[in-house]
Amino acid sequence: MPDRILRRADLSDADALVRCIDAAYAIYADTIKDLPDVSGGVAGDIEDHIVFVAEQAGRVVAGLVLMLGEDYLKVANLAVHPDAGGRGLGRALMARAESEAASRGLAQLRLATHVAMPGNVRFYNSMGWVEDGRAGNTVMMRKDL
């Protein structure tokens, strides 16, 4: 995808990233009753955490929110707009998460997903992530770098 740009987000991206995240999770909104607010606080995330966006044709079509843990980097949110799915954006952003962790001297990535999103678990497994436990409807995963 030659016109794809992966870059750090800035506050001017907040509204577009909220729309992207909401669109990505819309398929789950009616079926997962305990789905948390997935797009709340995006502007704060951009200010306080590590946020990347994927842009195509001048439009934010995917985003990644990373939070620094004591000795790991947490993938707090990965979202790809449904119109941009299947183009490798999720994989590209996860590769960016790995390089960000490595640049900080961190040897592990962590994330949590929902048990009712088995496609997410398969996606992460395909990139070398392993399940690290479950609590209620939460599936915890990790990737050692």
Q: What are phi and psi of 136, to 5 degrees?
A: 60, -125
What pLDDT score does 3 carry?
79
* Structural domain harbouring 47: 4-144
Q: Average pLDDT by consecutive 10-residue portion of the chain (145 residues)?
A: 84 97 90 85 97 95 97 97 93 97 97 92 96 94 97
Domain at 65, CATH number:
3.40.630.30
How many structural domains are present in the chain? 1
Distance, CA of 91 to chain centre: 10
Q: Two tokens at 116?
A: 């009712």
Residue type, 11: L
